[in-house]
Every structure is written in structure tokens, then in C-alpha cells.
Amino acid sequence: MSLGVSSYAIEEGRKGAIVFCESCGKQSPQARERDETPAGCEPGNPELYGARFCTCYTPARFTGKYHDRSGRRRSPRLISLPERFNVATYFVDRNVVEGRRERLAIECGDEQVSYQELLERTDRIGNVLRKLGVRAEERVLLLLMDSPEFLYCFFGAIKIGAVAVPVNTLLKPHEYEYIFNDCRARVAVVSESLLPLVEQIPRERLQYLREVVVAGEARGDCASLYELMRAASPELEAEPTSKDDSAFWLYSSGSTGVSKGCIHLHHDMVVCSELYAKGILQMNEQDRCYSVARLFFAYGLGNAGYFPLSCGATTILSPARPTAASIYADIERYRPTLFFSVPTNYAALLAHKREGQDFDLSSVRHAISAGEGLPAALLERFKQRFGVEILDALGSTETLQMVIANRPGEARPGSSGRIIPGYEAKIVDDKGDPVGLNEIGDLMVKGDSICTGYWNQHERTKEAFVGHWFRTGDKYYQDRDGYFWHAGRADDLFKVNGKWLSPAEVESALIAHPAVREAAVVAREDEAGLTKPAAYVVVNSEFAAREQLAGELQDWVAQNLGGYKRPRWIEFLAEIPKTATGKLQRFKLRELQGQRNQTSVNPAEVPSKRKLNVGSADS
């Protein structure tokens, strides 16, 4: 039975379509230009709420809530999907139905995959999984490098009503064992290069696993994905799922603690695509998307996965480990228009230079950053060097993609941006009451892409989700213009001289110094038992880690932020410990302090470079 792919295409102003202003209800044939509004309406601001709203529908300040002319609050009904909805048909089948069968969907090395080929291979995978006995709602674990096979398997599993579970490719065997047993997958698809990690786990300890399919040559009991695909039919009828059925799980990659399986539904990816990819980035079928963040990461899954497929664009994939040199080479070869990365990588790119002509980033119309706060200095250096503005944004595994973002041409260095229309945000104190402007509090967000909870984690779900609101665990404040400013994680802030200190603020000040590539700040007690800031710094290659530089950095922070924020200790490291997704692991710095019994250097001591053992990618 067909799910009527063309009938649920989002009405976003295609020429000749009938479009309604969703506040006043007026309608008219709508041309593609986003500044045109329905007949009889005054033009609204398309940057804020698109062509589907006019001035009779005005956003409330700061929150993303909407009011009509009477002042009554209304929520913008930006997206309407039928109850019976399979999201794989939206991102894969729809592109063929709407005439994009020959357009390029994926580029990976020398391989090019059209939308017609993407559909046929996705359907083959769905048929393979059904033949292996996978039923609706059962989990399929995907341990795959960034490659076309990832997208075939992800959407193939979803299309048969199963639940795709992409997994971090940088974990250790004991961490895979936990996820295998927690999600209870009976079938796993694993890249050939990653299979040895799975084989290290005694099979008797994988309670639910029945089949391992390898994306490569057949090996032992593991069948070859390619052989199975060749034998499968290229046609598949989608399972008639609900828009509120589970479609995929993503395991969180927090800075500490056991991973949590975030349950996402069939409608979630559509919400993110419409509100952020199209609403903020204005992504369209001419775009070419390149993401340093991997597909297993919620951020990367959108950037290089469903975002480009939502509008018939092209995604550029590479299974290779990204380095500054390889990223620059890919940008110059594939000429992406949208470039997605994380602050750590932007710092590495800025540190990498070549003799003669600089790297050519002229194809990039927007660079995007997420994963952790982007220091203002990195944004300014990148724009000065390449002429490309980095748009910082906030999202998480739980929210799936961005909920707060900087708009093109309106970015404020150091801020996460403003709330994305369609989402809501509030900053509250310890009692749950809203705080005032420029006051630090706990950030809570609300929106339709937020996961339904954590699999098999009842208590942690209750702690994180309060009604429709999600506790992000981040400390933020909001300025008069509605911009949100990150102050650190909830457990990162500490008091110095009775005043709250935000490590993120001190880190941004340090990174603004030309000698500093990366910085991290944690609390440490001095000889009197008083809490003071300790800074760990990675210097740029042209600078030496010396006593004189340590004192200079301390003075730099004092001059720019104030005396009590001046780091009492400065220590130089070869690298700052981070997770695979770029999140700072402050707890490893605290562990280092404890191991050395507070023997790290002060300005009177010559600091030495050290390299931390960063341990597992998800710990």
C-alpha cells in the first residue's frame, strides 16, 4: 500500500502551490520567493518565520512563541504530517517521485549515487533485513563508517518499521557490549574495518544478537552485505508506520557517565529539516553538504544525512579519519556550499597552514559549529582568514538538532544565537522560576524533535524531561536582544571570592590570545582550601610553552575579565581531553589534578607539555 509520498510534501512555497497564512487564513498562489505573502497580508519577516506567515503573526520576544493581533499566544503550526507516515519515504522515495531521480544524492571518494540508486539500494537493504527476520519495532544496530551504506541501512531499517541504532565507531569492545545488550538488537551491520572490535566480545555475552552482516567481504559466520543486496529485490513497500512510532535511537555521547539511548520518532527528522536546515540555513537542492561530525553523531546525522535529502541536495561523505589536511583537500576537491564542524576542529584548521596560496574555501556559503560553545576568537580568526562566517548553534542528542542558532548575517561572536521559531526556551533558577535578563540559570527547551525519553532509564528520564520541557544541563544567560550565551555545563560553574565563575568565559578569553589554540578551565583548591581557577592550555605551534607565557596569559585574563577570573595556575598540555564528538572532558583534568596532588605549575614554575590519556571516546 502506498503512503502517498507526494501528498505529505511540506508546503514551503513551491510555485503554483496554494499556501495559507497560518494566522489569518488568507490564501493565494505562492511563488518561490520567500518574501511574498498570501494575498491581502502585509509582508512579514521571512528570516524569522518564512513566507507562510505575515505580519498578523508576530513572534514574541526571545522565546520563539507566537501571538496573533489580539495578543493571544499561539504556537506556529509549521509542519503537518498525516498520522500514517514512514519517514524513509519522505527522505528517499519522495525525491524520486518529485523528479530528482537523476540528481546526485551522495558523493564518497570516486563513488557517486543518484537519488534513484539511493532508493533502489535502500529498498534492497529493507528486503535483506526482512529476510533475516527483522520485524517492526525491532532494533538494528549499525556500526558503520561514513559511507553510502550507512544511509542505505539507516533508511532501509526504518522503511520496514524497524528501529535503526547507529553507534559511535570510536568506542571500545566493552562499550559495544553494553550497547548491544541494552538495545537488544538481533541483527547488526558492521563495517569490515570495525568487525575485529565486535569479534573481541565473547559471543555468549551478547544475549540478543543473532546475525552480524559485514559491509565488506564475507567472514566466518558473517554474511557480506553486498552479496545479500545483490540477491534482494530493489522494490519495497514501506511499513505503514505512524508519525509517532519509534524510528531510530541515538546513544548520547556525554562528557561523562554511561551512554543513554535517546528514542526518536518518525516525525523528528522532518521537524529539524524544516525548522533549521530550511528555516535558518535556507538549504536547497543546489547545496552540497560536508560534515566533519560523523553520521553516528546526532549533529552529523542531520548535516550529512537527512538535511540534504530533505531538499534534494548532495551529501559528501568520507569514511577516513578527518584531519586538517584531509578536510582542506576534500573542500577543494568537492566544493561544498555548507560546511559543518565543531570548535576543536575549527581550531585545528586555523592552526594548519601551507606555503604559498592559502586553502580555497570560496565555495562555502556558510560554516556551522555545534557540539560545544564556539569561542568568539575562533569565529573572528576564521572569518578574517577565509571570509566565511561561522554560525554557532546549540543542539543535543536529545533535541536531535539545533534549537538555538545564529542566523546568517546576524551572528554574534561567542553567543549560541536566538531561539529557532518552532521551539521554545526558558532559563530558570534552582526553583524552576524564570531568571531576569543577563542572569545565569538552567536552560530548558521545548519542541517536537525532542526525544521521548531514554530507553530503559526511567529515573534519568524523569530527571531530564519535565512535561514538554527538556533540561539541557547547560547554564545560560540571555541578553536584551534575545541572544543566548553559554556559561558552561550545570556542574562546571564554581564560586571564586563568593562570585560565580563561568569556565567557558575564561576559556574564550584565553583563546582570544594569539598564542592559544585551545583552553580548558576547572576549579582547584589552593593551599588555604579556597577554590580558584586552573587553566590547561594548548599553544599554537609558533609559540613556546614557557614561564613567561604563563604569566602573560594570567595578566591577559585579568585585564579582559577581572582579577578574580584570573587563572591561579596555568599548565600546558599537548592536547585537551575530549569525547569523539568534540565535547570537553573536564573530569579527566580533575583526575589529573588529583593524581599529581596539586603539583601543576604556577607562574614561577616552567610548564612542560604533557599529553593526557583521553581514554574511551564516550566516557
Domains and CATH numbers, the chain: 1-74 (no CATH), 84-96+110-266 (3.40.50.980), 270-489 (3.40.50.12780), 492-611 (3.30.300.30)
As a whole-number percent, the residues of the chain with pLDDT over 90 amount to 66
Task: Please tell me whether residue 233 adopts helix, strand or coil conformation.
Answer: coil
Interhelix angle for 376-386 vs 343-351, to 10°? 50
Q: What is the pLDDT of residue 498?
A: 67
CA dist 523 to 182, 404, 450, Å? Answer: 35, 28, 32
Pairing of strands 58-59, 66-67: antiparallel
CB 249 within 8 A of CB 455: yes
Q: Which residue has the higher pLDDT, 375 or 60?
A: 375
Let me know how long the chain is.
619
Q: What is the pLDDT of residue 199?
A: 95
* In the block, residue with C-alpha cell 569492545: 173
Pairing of strands 104-108, 314-317: parallel
Q: What is the pLDDT of residue 50?
A: 36
User: What pLDDT digit, counting tens, does each position of 427-476 carry?
Assistant: 999 999 999 999 999 999 999 999 999 999 999 999 999 999 999 999 99
* In the block, residue with C-alpha cell 556542574: 491
Q: pLDDT at residue 418 above 80?
A: yes
CA atoms within 13 A on the CB side of 147: 20
- Residue 454 backbone dihedrals phi, psi, to 5 degrees: -100, 130
Q: pLDDT at residue 158 above 50?
A: yes
Work out the burial of residue 172: count CB atoms within 10 Å of its CB; fewer than 13 is exposed, 13-18 middle, 19 or more buried. middle
The overall average pLDDT reported for the chain is 84
User: What pLDDT digit, counting tens, does each position of 491-530 carry?
Assistant: 777 878 767 788 888 988 899 899 999 999 988 888 777 7
Helical (H) or strand (E) element with 310? helix 307-310
User: What pLDDT digit, counting tens, does each position of 191-204 carry?
Assistant: 999 999 999 999 99
Q: Which of 213-217, 489-493, 514-518, 530-534 is most confident?
A: 213-217
Number of C-beta neighbours around residue 351 at 10 A: 15
CA dist 344 to 279, 318, 538, Å? Answer: 27, 19, 11
Q: Identify the weakest region by mean pLDDT among 55-64, 310-319, 325-334, 416-425.
A: 55-64
Work out the burial of residue 531: count CB atoms within 10 Å of its CB; fewer than 13 is exposed, 13-18 middle, 19 or more buried. middle
| CB burial readout 212-247, b (16+ within 10 A) else e | bbbbbeeeeebbbbeebbeebeeebebbebbbebbb
Does this model's pTM top 0.95? My answer is no
Strands in 338-341's sheet, in edge-to-edge order, are 111-114, 104-108, 314-317, 288-291, 338-341, 366-369, 390-395, 402-405, 418-419
Residues 6+ apart with CB under 8 A from 544: none
CB 190 within 8 A of CB 215: yes
First to last CA, the chain: 45
What is the arithmetic mean of pLDDT over 232-259? Answer: 88
Q: What is the pLDDT of residue 412?
A: 95
Give the model's confidence band at 419: pLDDT under 50 very low, under 70 low, under 90 confident, else very high.
Answer: very high
User: What pLDDT digit, counting tens, does each position of 343-357 carry?
Assistant: 889 989 999 999 999
With residues binned 3-state (H G I as helix, E B as strand, rest as coil), the percentages for the chain, rounded to 5, are 30, 25, 45
Q: Which three cell numbers stand for residue 51?
A: 513566507
User: What pLDDT digit, counting tens, does each position of 258-302 carry?
Assistant: 789 999 999 999 999 999 999 999 999 999 999 999 999 999 999
Q: Which three cell numbers stand for residue 542?
A: 609558533
Amino acid at 576: I
DSSP 222: B
Q: Rounded to the nearest 10 degrees, how much is the dihedral formed by the CA atoms of 216, 400, 128, 161?
A: 170
Q: What is the pLDDT of residue 254?
A: 53
Helical (H) or strand (E) element with 463? helix 458-464
Task: Please tell me whether residue 289 adopts helix, strand or coil conformation.
Answer: strand
Task: Please tell me whether residue 580 adopts helix, strand or coil conformation.
Answer: coil
Nearest to 413 by CA among 379, 362, 447: 379
Q: pLDDT at residue 64 above 70?
A: no
* In the block, residue with C-alpha cell 530527571: 463
Nearest to 268 by CA among 436, 449, 424, 94: 449
Q: pLDDT at residue 184 above 70?
A: yes
Q: What is the pLDDT of residue 465?
A: 96
β-partners of residue 518 are: 538
Q: pLDDT at residue 18 above 80?
A: no
CB 233 within 8 A of CB 250: no
